[in-house]
Amino acid sequence: MQDQASSLREITRKRNNENRFTLARVLAVTSGKGGVGKSNMSSNLAIAICQYGKKVLLIDFDLGLANIDVLFGIYPKYTLKDVLRGTKELADVIVEGPEGLMIIPASSGVEDMVRLTISQKEKLIKDLNSLRNDIDIVVVDTGSGIYSDVIRMLIAANEIIIITTPEPTAITDAYSVIKVISRYKRYPNIKLFVNMCKNILDAKNTGKKITEAAKRFLGVEIEDVWAVPFDYHVQNAVRVQKPFVIKYPDAIISSTIKKIAGNILSSQARSYAQDEEDGGLHNYFQKLIGVNSAENNKNVVTTQVDRLKTED
């Protein structure tokens, strides 16, 4: 076991050295509650980033209500679980979407991934290593709420995007997510989408409530707040299982998402490319599966988030 753990760490160390300054940015998208358009924003944002010439991987990690495949009208044969079982390679699992977007369909839970054997972890890291030159941005569509699996996915990411709406319950739940994240990530890089806004005042008031409360009570700075208008084109696109940025490229919401994608690409994520411990798809999965502490099958992320089961 000791030799296997050492071998696994050596693989990841070499990979980090090779890839140190070309690590992909990992954007984890979440929401405090369902019904606020999280998966729609994830998928359309990923496509919009592709339209800027970036190579993007979209991972469906909404384990409770996974529906990225439904939004795209695709029917995947395999998932990441097949890779972990050793029956398929990672290349067999990835589905191609619009604009060259790469998609990993919904798969096994993070709890299952944490319990992987050393050999399974080694295979996953090797497979991910094969993608290191093919990805600029990773968009992870997580679940909603403050469940331990969701929080683990969020604090392992470089940047966190929280989707909310102007509704009081959505605002309260979004703040709750920020509160939990702040316990386990000292300087979270959080961006806020205020979705389904009827007017700009709606967006400003919602953004102000959340950002001011986060700064005052949690010491968390949220610098990026984007307003996404309510648009019937979204519902129409869902009905025909096409992303709205593809189906209705000239709609206001499509131009809004494209502008946000451009803003994200022009911003420098906090230390994502300079710190090999923070950046990259490989490091993201390492944090989820506990690569860096294989001897005791625990890692900092796992230990911290497991406290959620006993707190509050």
Give the pLDDT confidence score for residue 253 in this predicted structure.
97
Q: Is the pLDDT of residue 44 over 60?
A: yes
- pLDDT over threshold 90, residue 65: no
Q: Would you say 151 and 305 are in contact if contact means Cβ atoms under 8 Å apart?
A: yes
Whether 165 maps to a domain, the answer reads yes
Domain that holds residue 66: 2-13+24-299
User: Are 125 and 8 within 8 A, CB to CB?
Assistant: yes
Q: How many domains does the chain have?
A: 1
Question: Does some domain include residue 230?
Answer: yes
Neighbours of 231 (CB within 10 A): 18
pLDDT tens profile 229-284: 999 999 999 999 999 999 999 999 999 999 999 999 998 644 444 444 556 887 88
pLDDT at residue 222, as a whole number:
95
Q: What is the rounded distance in angstroms from the CA atom of residue 273 to the CA atom of residue 240?
A: 38
Q: Classify residue 19: in a domain, yes or no.
A: no
Q: Which pLDDT score, from 0 to 100, does residue 227 have?
A: 97
| Rg (the chain; Cα; Å) | 19
Binned at pLDDT 50, 70 and 90, residue 64 comes out as low
pLDDT in tens, 292-309: 433 333 344 444 455 554
CATH number at residue 35: 3.40.50.300
The 3-class SS string of the chain reads CHHHHHHHHHHHHHHHHHHCCCCCEEEEEEECCCCCCHHHHHHHHHHHHHCCCCCEEEEECCCCCCCHHHHHCCCCCCCHHHHHCCCCCHHHHCEECHHHCEEECCCCCHHHHHCCCHHHHHHHHHHHHCCCCCCCEEEEEEEECCCHHHHHHHHCCCEEEEEECCCHHHHHHHHHHHHHHHHHCCCCCEEEEEEEECCHHHHHHHHHHHHHHHHHHHCCCCCEEEEEECCHHHHHHHHCCCCHHHHCCCCHHHHHHHHHHHHHHHCCCCCCCCCCCCCCHHHHHHHHHCHHHCCCCCCHHHHHHHHHHCCC
Residue 309 in domain: no
Note the pLDDT tens digit of each residue in 211-229.
Answer: 999 999 999 999 899 999 9
**Residue 245 domain flag:** yes
Nearest CA-CA partner of 42 in 140, 181, 152, 188? 140
pTM above 0.85, yes or no: no
Question: Once rounded to an integer, what is the mean pLDDT over residues 106-129?
Answer: 70
Domain contains 234: yes
Tens of pLDDT, residue by residue over 139-191, are 999 989 998 888 988 998 989 999 999 999 999 999 999 999 999 988 889 99
Does residue 42 fall inside a structural domain? yes
Q: Is residue 18 part of a domain?
A: no
pLDDT at 287: 83
Q: What is the pLDDT of residue 6?
A: 55
Please determine, for residue 36, whether its predicted confidence score (pLDDT) is greater than 90: yes
Mean pLDDT value across the chain: 82
